[in-house]
A and B are shown apart, each in its own frame.
Chain A
Amino acid sequence: MRIQVRRTGGFGGIERRGEVDTSARPDAHEWHALAERVVADGRRTPKSGVPDGFHYEITVDGKTVYTADPSLTEEQRTLIQRVLKEGA
């Protein structure tokens, strides 16, 4: 499974991306469960968010969902943090 996160906006307007390919990872099933829940619960169109808030595009195997600060779900937050940290 290929999980990509693109973060745009924010006060600085600086884009950040991360990508994790779970195929060779020992904790793959954990990633899959989290990513599937995020995609299933996510919205398919961009969200307007708040001034200077971060915007996120989460793409799992080609399927993209959108979210924005400060209203992330706990699952979205966890996935975003992990992908931006481990897949930078």
Chain B
Amino acid sequence: MTTHGGFEPVFCTIVPPHVLDKLAQHEDPALAGPARETLQRDAYERTHRRLTTVLGAPTLAAPTETDKPRRTIYDAKHKQDLPGKKVRAEGSDPGKDATVNRAYAGLGATFELYLNAFNRHSIDGEGLPLNASVHYDVNYDNAFWNGEQMVFGDGDGELFLDFTIPVDVIGHELTHGVTQYTANLTYFGQSGALNESISDVFGSLIKQYSLGQTAAEADWLIGAGLLAPRVTGVALRSMKAPGTAYDDDALGKDPQPATMDGFIKTGRDNGGVHLNSGIPNHAFYLVADALGGHAWEKAGQIWYDVLTGGELKKDALFTDFATLTVAAAKTRFGDGGEELQAVQKAWEQVGVPTS
């Protein structure tokens, strides 16, 4: 028995899954590698299709494009059943639970950036209700987007604190939803690292927007305030200086590369999606830093145009994405402008070709 679920038999591929299963276990990595990758993609596709079906219904039932978020926070009460008990609805007053209030505010901050900076109405662009569950599981050191909602753990208190503390973490998770509804980048390898990077980029922009910061004032950290006091580190990732966020006895050292010279080839972490995201993260920082001012106005706009423009393929490589940002900079801000120059220079600096 496996956890494939009931939809497995109707899924069509050219190579039957059992052959891929067999190949994936082959001694020769040349055979096993691609088979494993295909199986992973297939599983992703199945999940996505199922989710699209599930997610389609509420949008059809209530096609509202309002300028107000529709937030609901649930308390998982330290269990794994989602979403859990409804504890705060849109418009209601803050309660006693700071975690619930932070999640509610973070969802609002995310909604505000997308609406005010990019005229996007919620995650799907059509006013999708925003749902989040807090207090997931016990001592849970993580936060994730499950295709329909955000899920936040409380952290173990030793290494990680509450995952609702950094607003960029909340923005990061919701942006996975935006990506799912737009370019839908496959969560594996380089396209997966781009998916991760986009969540970091917009997560950081949400923090900067809510604080009214310029690129020079921003900390460009992801997860500042999340590490427990005993941990030696400032955050989980740094877009300004990838690889420098933490260096700790228990956590190890921040492994992120800033340029292609340090690109990590691995099968773990969906092909290093949280590792190699340092490269496009740093490119974004370089563009924002070169242009100055509010990062969401120019650098953020270029990245948003690429994410939502319809030309970014699901299996895009770094170079595909970089090339599209060059085109977007030209279209949005004109040929020969400082924006175009900043984009070209940034990708060159991190070692990603733009043609």
The answer for the CA separation of A51 and B173 in the assembled complex, in Å, is 8
Interface residues on A, range: 20 to 34
Q: Does A46 have its Cβ within 8 Å of any Cβ on chain B?
A: yes
Contact with B along A12-54 (1 / 0, CB 8 A): 1111000000000000000000000000011111111111111
- Residues of B bordering A, CB below 8 Å: 1-4, 20-21, 24-25, 36, 39-41, 43-44, 47, 80, 82, 141-147, 151, 160, 163, 169, 172-173, 176, 187-188, 195-196, 199, 223, 236, 251-252, 255, 267-270, 272-275
A44 B270 Cβ-Cβ under 8 A: no
A55 B187 Cβ-Cβ under 8 A: no
Residues on the A chain within 8 Å of B270, using CB: 9, 48-49, 55
B3 A12 Cβ-Cβ under 8 A: no
The answer for the CA separation of A73 and B80 in the assembled complex, in Å, is 11
B273 A13 Cβ-Cβ under 8 A: yes
A43 B143 Cβ-Cβ under 8 A: no
Show 25 A/B contacts (Cβ-Cβ < 8 Å), sorted by A. Answer: A9-B270, A9-B274, A11-B169, A12-B142, A12-B160, A13-B236, A13-B275, A15-B269, A44-B21, A45-B20, A45-B21, A46-B36, A48-B40, A48-B187, A51-B173, A51-B176, A51-B195, A52-B173, A53-B142, A53-B146, A55-B269, A55-B270, A70-B80, A70-B146, A70-B151
Interchain Cβ contacts within 8 Å, total number: 111
**Closest B-chain residue to A12, C-beta based?**
B236
Which of A12, A41, A46, A50 contacts B39, CB < 8 Å? Answer: A46
B146 A50 Cβ-Cβ under 8 A: yes
Take A51-B187, A73-B3 as given contacts and tell me if A11 and B223 are in contact as well, using a CB distance cutoff of 8 Å.
yes
A44 B24 Cβ-Cβ under 8 A: yes
Residues on the B chain within 8 Å of A41, using CB: 1-2
CB distance from A43 to the nearest CB of B (A): 5
The answer for the CA separation of A12 and B252 in the assembled complex, in Å, is 12
Residues on the B chain within 8 Å of A9, using CB: 268-270, 273-274
CB distance from A5 to the nearest CB of B (A): 13
Q: Does A8 have its Cβ within 8 Å of any Cβ on chain B?
A: yes
B236 A11 Cβ-Cβ under 8 A: yes
Across the A-B interface, give the 4 residue pairs with the lowest CB-CB distance, nearest first: A13-B274, A52-B144, A48-B44, A51-B176
Which of B47, B145, B188, B269 contacts A13, CB < 8 Å? Answer: B269
Which of A6, A43, A49, A55 contacts B2, CB < 8 Å? Answer: A43
Which of B36, B44, B146, B151 contacts A45, CB < 8 Å? Answer: B36
Which of A14, A44, A49 contacts B251, CB < 8 Å? Answer: A14
The answer for the CA separation of A12 and B42 in the assembled complex, in Å, is 25
Residues on the B chain within 8 Å of A67, using CB: 3
**Closest A-chain residue to B160, C-beta based?**
A12
B144 A55 Cβ-Cβ under 8 A: no
Residues on the B chain within 8 Å of A48, using CB: 40-41, 43-44, 47, 187-188, 270
